[in-house]
Every structure is written in structure tokens, then in C-alpha cells.
Amino acid sequence: MSGPHRVLIVGGGFGGLYAAQALKRAAVDLTVIDRRNFHLFQPLLYQVATGALSPAEIASPLRVVLQKQANARVLMGDVRDVDPAAKLVILADETTYPYDTLIVATGSTHHYFGHDEWEEFAPGLKTVEDATEIRRRILTAFESAEREADPEKRAALLTFVVVGGGPTGVELAGALGEIANDTLRHDFRSIHTPETQIFLIEGAERVLPPYPPGLSAAAEKSLIELGVRTRTASRVTEIDGDGVTIQIGDRTERIATKTVLWAAGVRANRLGRVLNERTGAAIDKAGRVVVTPNLTVPGQPDIFVIGDLASFMAANGEQLPGVAPVAMQQGRFVARQVERRAKGESAVPDLFKYWDKGSMATIGRASAVAQMGNLHFSGLLAWLAWLFIHLMYLVEFENRLLVLIEWALNYVTHNRGARLITGDKRP
Amino acid sequence: MSGPHRVLIVGGGFGGLYAAQALKRAAVDLTVIDRRNFHLFQPLLYQVATGALSPAEIASPLRVVLQKQANARVLMGDVRDVDPAAKLVILADETTYPYDTLIVATGSTHHYFGHDEWEEFAPGLKTVEDATEIRRRILTAFESAEREADPEKRAALLTFVVVGGGPTGVELAGALGEIANDTLRHDFRSIHTPETQIFLIEGAERVLPPYPPGLSAAAEKSLIELGVRTRTASRVTEIDGDGVTIQIGDRTERIATKTVLWAAGVRANRLGRVLNERTGAAIDKAGRVVVTPNLTVPGQPDIFVIGDLASFMAANGEQLPGVAPVAMQQGRFVARQVERRAKGESAVPDLFKYWDKGSMATIGRASAVAQMGNLHFSGLLAWLAWLFIHLMYLVEFENRLLVLIEWALNYVTHNRGARLITGDKRP
């Protein structure tokens, strides 16, 4: 071989970025390709959607993060195809980049279970643009309500429906409760914002279904205190410009609303299907590539798939969840494998094992639920743990400082510092 | 009269907001209508366009600013028409709002001197969306250059043209120089960003034409040190997707570029024309309403026009410039007049007089020019004065703190904290 081992990473999310950083000292020639010029800290995206943080505070330019890593280069580009025989990837502009090892970590997007027509009325929360669009809709609803004379229309404007009771849905609904009861309380003259109605719709029997039942109950209690009405064991059957219809058992309920937020299904990025077509790898019904125990594509020892794009069965027979810690650990695991290969060491088929450190979710001011191993806790202590861990994992020191200050200001002033209605129709 | 005197302010910029705040203790019923939900600190908008600040750091929700002012309410709406006989304004959704006194302060927008086709290639800088679009174009040009193999195309991607050598143009060109020479210097692997070419085109004989000649010279010197090529006494004759053509005397010059920024002409908001049609008030060629010495529309003692929308001749026969201090002083002046009227005091025809405290502009790191009365200075001292004054005038304490910290971080790390490519085509 002429030059050093060429490693190509597609996607600069948690999986791709942690793989790249773990290869810092490896004798490889590393390229990270992403459609965006920044790494996004998705666990805090709901705080942008609810006006607490600015996009730049939870995003770090990939070039800045990898600036001092001499073996790494960053390219902004949209990978559309992979040629495993020629060992290269093809971008949307038809340029190609060769690899010796390919790591695909392009994540997932939202999915409407065959109801793509719902997207228009119920945006999901995956990108910075999604977040500012949701922020626009939430704040515009209150502004329109202030000017609306008809009580029925005003009530629909002051009704918010969040579909999906996982961590994102719970955190969005909690933040909406706080906005209505606290942040905006003294801002309007015609409407009384605590009259806002917030619904959280979940298909399972309880919110936060993967969490221990005690924590689900604690989360639901906190949500109710914030005025959120939870509808569990409920299925959405219709979403349009005037409201949402849900089915609970054999009863249906219609909720008149102008603002629906989607935090339910996700589907793997389209590169899952590309890998399926090019290598014959199986994909599951969410479009994720079913990977081997060492995270390669079956029969393709040079192609790794990690993070939300990978379908990986844990030892207990359960599918690993699409969360940041899984992607981070997979990124590091793959980096170690690649480093060994680059040194020419025999590829001992190491097995990926996920170490579940726990899960947590915030529900408004000084309230959260957390589970770490057998330790379950909620309230202020869980909230402080949540704050600390989320600050710690922000990639750049600058973001850590700015988020800390924004949070402190928001906490003290009961304000949300980034309440801007921007984008969409230019004024 | 039944209730308190109804004052309607259209526009929450410097003029409208300062008028509203100066009426804090007046026995009036005050309504502020704006198309946006926030007051924007436009003098720092170029820092958003160049990735140094986030939009929320220079924008304050009008509701937050006026939250504690019991006599004020805020409405988000688009005023399309005025009926001086019935004394009401008409919004785009056809709702109407009555007034006893109307203050119109809707500002200005950019203007392409009859070449509207240039807008597509040369965006101006007036709104948050303009700023994030300009940021997207600047950062995307560097990203594309990194991936471009053809040297000629790469050179065009690394060429930036700023049209207009007033404060905004000078500050944009200076920030571009800093980005190329400092911020991005170590971020790329294929391109050497200090090779970037930046042109600043100005029609007058020198940059910052309204400033004293000594300061123009100091500004030009600082720009040249940052690698900016100034083209004074130059007129733009063509802008398209491949470059800009300028005329200097009888010589023409073609600059191949993919990024042109417009900081030249402005035109008054369309309400100027509406007032012209409804009241017969004269408008100047930039569409501004020619106001009386007490800032009313001639023959309409109940309608004030202030800020960039007003054409006001100072005692020295010169037109007042469209800058924040003029709007702020006019806002306060009008508030005093309105307060007297609301008390039923006779409308002594007070005359507005602008107190020119000076002007300043920054040109990159630790460099600025300032003029205060007969005092002219440049360099570090001017830069510190600029920092202090701009921080002081930010409306909210939270923004002051966040901007101060962003500036400190940017200064120490040589980074720009908000370098995100967002918006436009969704990825």
C-alpha cells in the first residue's frame, strides 16, 4: 500500500465524531464528510425549539472540533452512493472519494408511519431548521391568540399537541408547560397564558416506555403539575390544519389545535437503503442496517455502520436504542478496530458491547427523572445531574460556558433568552 | 373623550421602541405593532452575518422589553394602510386599530437602484434572515473552495465583493478580512484562506464618505492591513452569478466572484408611499416622508413619522442620516409632544433638533475609527469606545452579558462562535 490507511467517515454526529476523535493518534488518513458544517448536540435541540437556547450554543463547527487533529480533514458534502467493489463513495455532485475503511454514521430522520401528509402540520425535531420552525409555530400561536377575538379560535391557538411520549416528547411538553405557566405569564394583555392546553399522546401504556415504571410515573406527575394532559395507550388517526384525532381503545377524541409537534417515529437515513442495494445487507423495518457483532456490514469487513443507522441486537435480545451514548460507544469501538487494522494486526473479531450508564429526561424547572443502573431518582437531584451531564458532553468549552450562562439567566429571570420568530415567510 | 389618549406606534425599531419607553409614565393607552416579535439591534447585525454573534443575542422580544410597562401592549401584525379621516390603521388581515395619535417608524429596506435582478446575487443586510443567509453564503464559499480542484473556480469562490463603503460595508469587509486571515486560517487542508480576496466598492472618493477625511483614511489603512482592496469612485454596472463589473472613470473592471454582499442603497418602507397617497405628504426619491419641524406629516398633526422613514432637513441644510441615534432622539422627542397633548396642553410647535454625538465603525480586531464632536480617534481606543457604547445600548441586560462573553471568547480563542450554515435548501 502506498499511503497511510484511508478512513472515510460519513456523518459528524455522535457516532462519526467520536470515531474521528478516537482515531486522533492513529496512523491513518482520516476524512469526515457531512452535509452540515457542524456537529449538533441533539439532546438539547428541544431547548432551541422552545426558545431557551440559540442554535449556535449547541452546535460546533466540525472544522473547529477537528482543527488540531493533524490526520483529519473535514468536507461538507452529501454522500448519495457507495461502491463497495471500487471502495469509494459518490457525492450528490458526482465527485468520488476513495476509502480503505468506511464508517457510515448518518443517523435517522422522522417518520410518519405512512402518513407523510402529516409532516406539514406536525413538524419533527431533528435539525436546527426543524427547531427554529417549531419555535416559530409555538410563539406565533400565542401572538395570534392575543389578536384573536373569537373564543373558540383562540382556544385552538392556545392548544398544543405533542405526539410521542419518549424523552423528546416529554421534554417538549414539559417546556411548553413552563412557557405557558411561567415564561409568558406576564407578557400578554388579552390572553391569560396559563389557560393553555397541552396534550401529550403516547401509544404505550405509560410515558417514557423504556424507563422503569416508577420513573414514568414520576415524569407523568411532573407533567401534570405543569398542566400537561397525558393520553397514553392512544393512537393518532388523523392530523390536519384544525386538529388531531386520537383513538383510545374504541373511543375517539378530537383535539382542536393549530400546533402539533411530532416526536414519534424515526426512520434511518437513506444510506441504509443504499447499503442494502449495494451489498445485500438486511435492513429492518425502520431502514436500519442489520450489522454484525463487530458493527460491520455482513460480508463487508471494510464497511462499518454505527449509531442510529445501525440495527444491533444486544446480548439480552433487545435492539439497542437510538440514543447518543450508543453512537458514542460504537464510534470508539470502531476506531479501535480500525486502528488495529491500520497497523496490519489481524482482525480479531471483537464484539461490541453496550454499557448502559442510564437515561434521564427533564420536565421543566428544577425537575427531571433519572435512572442509573439500579438507582432511580427524580426531582431536583435528577435535574442537577441532568444539567451537569449535558454540559459536560457539549463538545466545545465555549458552548459549555454560554449554555451555562443562558441556563442561569433563564432560571433567575424566568425568561427564555431566544424567543425569536424567524424564517419561513419573509416579512 | 371617553378613555385615555390612544397612541399607536407602528414599528418596534429604535424610533418606535424609544418613543414607547419614553411614554412609560404618560396617561396614555399605548399599542406597539410590529411585523416581528422582537426589537433588533441592527448596528451589530453584521456580526451575525459574519458568525461572531447569534441572532438572539442582538434581538429582544418586544413583549419582554415592554412587559412591565402597564400602559403598553404589543401586537404582532403587518400594517398595510392608514385611514387618516377615520383615524385607524388597517392590517394585512384586514383587522383595524384606532388611534388618537399615530407614530409611524417602519424604517427602510435595501434598494438596488432599479436593478432588482441584482438582489438574488447580492443580498442586503436588514433582517435576521438576511444575516443568516449572508453567513450561509460566506461559509459555503470557503467549504466549496476546499473541495474545488479547478484553480480558477477556487479563486472565484475565495473572492468576496462588498458593494457600499458606508459603515455597514466597511464593517462587513473588515470582518471578512478577519475571517480569512485569522478565524479560518487553520481550519482547512486544501486552501490557504489568507489568499482570499476581498473588494470594497464605493461610489464616493473615499470610504465612510460622511466621516471626516482623516478617519476615512484611517479606516482605509486598517482595511488594507486586513487584505481588503478598496475601489473608490467606482460604480457597479453589472452583478450576476459569476461576478461583478465596476466602472472607475472610463475604465471597467470585472471581478470574478461567487459572493457579493450589498451594503449600498436603502429605500423607505412602503408605508411612506401609503402616507403619500392617503395624506398627500411629499416623499423624497428614497421614499421617505418629508416631515414638518416637529416630525408630523404636513397637515396631519396626529401623525408623526420618525427614524429612517422620515426625511428631515437639519438646520445646516443637510438631510439627517438614517442611523440609530437619530431615530432614538426622534422617538423621545415625539413622546414628549404626545404626552403634552394627552394632558390637553396646547401643542406648542416644538422643533426637533438632532444632537450629533458622533459616529464610529469597527474594522476587525482591536481596530476602529470614531468621531465625537471635534475629537477624532482610531485604533484600540476607538475600538474600546465602540465596544462600550454598543454594549450599553443593547436593550436587555441578558443580551449585554451574552454579547460581552461571546466577544471575550471570540477575542481570546480567535474563533467566531456562531459559524453555522443553516437555512435555504433543507439538507
Active-site residue, from A171, A220, A339, A406: A171
Establish if B176 belongs to a structural domain. Answer: yes
Contacts of B168 (CB under 8 A, 6+ apart): B46, B125, B263
A427 has a pLDDT exceeding 50: no
Residue in chain B closest to A72 (alpha carbons) equals: B189
A130 has a pLDDT exceeding 90: yes
- How many CB atoms within 10 Å of residue B336? 14
Alpha carbons A426 and A10: distance in angstroms, whole number? 34
The domain spanning residue A173 has which CATH number? Answer: 3.50.50.100
Contacts of A376 (CB under 8 A, 6+ apart): A212, A214, A215, A369, A370
Establish if A366 belongs to a structural domain. Answer: no
pLDDT for A342 equals 87
Supply the angle between the helices B213-225 and B167-178 in degrees, to the nearest 10. 20
B395 has a pLDDT exceeding 50: yes
Establish if B157 belongs to a structural domain. Answer: yes
Residue in chain A closest to B407 (alpha carbons) equals: A398
Cell reading at A246: 386520537
Alpha carbons B54 and B249: distance in angstroms, whole number? 41
**Same domain? A32 vs A142:** no
Establish if B26 belongs to a structural domain. Answer: yes
Catalytic residue check, A398: no
**Same domain? B241 vs B335:** no
**Same domain? B19 vs B156:** no
Establish if A316 belongs to a structural domain. Answer: yes
Name the residue among B54, B61, B423 with its Cβ closest to that of A129: B423
**Same domain? A140 vs A193:** yes
CB contact under 8 A, A422 and B61: no
Q: How far is CA B327 from CA A230, B66, B152, B333, B340, in A?
A: 50, 18, 46, 10, 20
Please name the residue ranges forming H helices in A240-342: 271-279, 324-342
**Same domain? B24 vs B105:** yes
Report whether A359 contacts A324 (CB < 8 A).
Answer: no
To the nearest whole Å, the CA of B378 is away from the closest chain A CA by 30
Residues of chain A neighbouring B65 (CB-CB closer than 8 A): none
**Same domain? B251 vs B392:** yes
Establish if B419 belongs to a structural domain. Answer: no
B160 has a pLDDT exceeding 70: yes
**Same domain? A240 vs A299:** no
**Same domain? B193 vs B324:** no
Alpha carbons A282 and A139: distance in angstroms, whole number? 43
Q: Which residues of B287-317 are buried (b: 16+ CB within 10 A; e: fewer)?
A: bbbbbbebbbbeebeebbbbbbbbbbeeeee
Nearest CA-CA partner of B160 in B122, B104, B132: B122
pLDDT, tens only, A78-126:
999 999 999 999 999 999 999 999 999 999 999 999 999 999 999 999 9
Report whether B169 contacts B163 (CB < 8 A).
Answer: yes
Report the domain count for chain B: 2
A348 has a pLDDT exceeding 90: no
Q: What is the pLDDT averaged over residues A318-334?
A: 95
CB contact under 8 A, A418 and B78: no
Interface test with A, best of B39, B50, B57, B63 (most A CBs within 10 A): B63
Name the residue among B78, B186, B401 with its Cβ closest to that of A427: B78
* B37: DSSP letter: S
To the nearest whole Å, the CA of A114 is away from the closest chain B CA by 21
Residues of chain B neighbouring A35 (CB-CB closer than 8 A): 427
Residue in chain A closest to B148 (alpha carbons) equals: A95
Cell reading at B425: 435548501
Would you list the DSSP string of B109-144?
EE--TT-GGGTTTS-B-SSHHHHHHHHHHHHHHHHH
pLDDT for A425 equals 46
Q: Give the end of a domain, one of A232, A264, A296.
A: A264
Looking at every residue in chain A, the average pLDDT score rounds to 94
Question: Which residues span the domain enclosing A11?
Answer: 5-110+267-342
CB contact under 8 A, B37 and A421: yes
The domain spanning residue A283 has which CATH number? Answer: 3.50.50.60
> Element (H or E) spanning B213, and its range?
helix B213-225
**Same domain? B228 vs B287:** no
Give bridge partners of residue B230 from the DSSP assignment.
B200
Name the residue among B132, B184, B398 with its Cβ closest to that of A413: B398
* 3-state secondary structure at position B317: coil
pTM, rounded to two decimals: 0.95
Alpha carbons B164 and B232: distance in angstroms, whole number? 10
CB contact under 8 A, A35 and B427: yes
Q: Which tops the pLDDT comparison, A315 or A349?
A: A315
Model confidence at B239, pLDDT cuts 50, 70, 90, reads: very high
Establish if B70 belongs to a structural domain. Answer: no
To the nearest whole Å, the CA of B424 is away from the closest chain A CA by 9
> Element (H or E) spanning B73, and its range?
strand B72-76
**Same domain? A192 vs A155:** yes
Phi-psi region of A129 (alpha: psi -120 to 50; beta: other; left: phi over 0): alpha
**Same domain? B192 vs B334:** no
To the nearest whole Å, the CA of B171 is away from the closest chain A CA by 22
Nearest CA-CA partner of B258 in B150, B364, B352, B359: B150
How far is it between the farthest Cα atoms of chain A?
75
Looking at every residue in chain B, the average pLDDT score rounds to 94
Would you list the DSSP string of B135-155?
HHHHHHHHHHHHH---HHHHH
Q: How far is CA A28 from CA A99, A222, A344, B92, in A?
A: 11, 49, 12, 60
Q: Are strands B368-372 and B375-378 parallel, antiparallel or unpaired?
A: antiparallel
> Element (H or E) spanning A260, and its range?
strand A259-262
- ipTM score of the complex? 0.93
**Same domain? A129 vs A33:** no
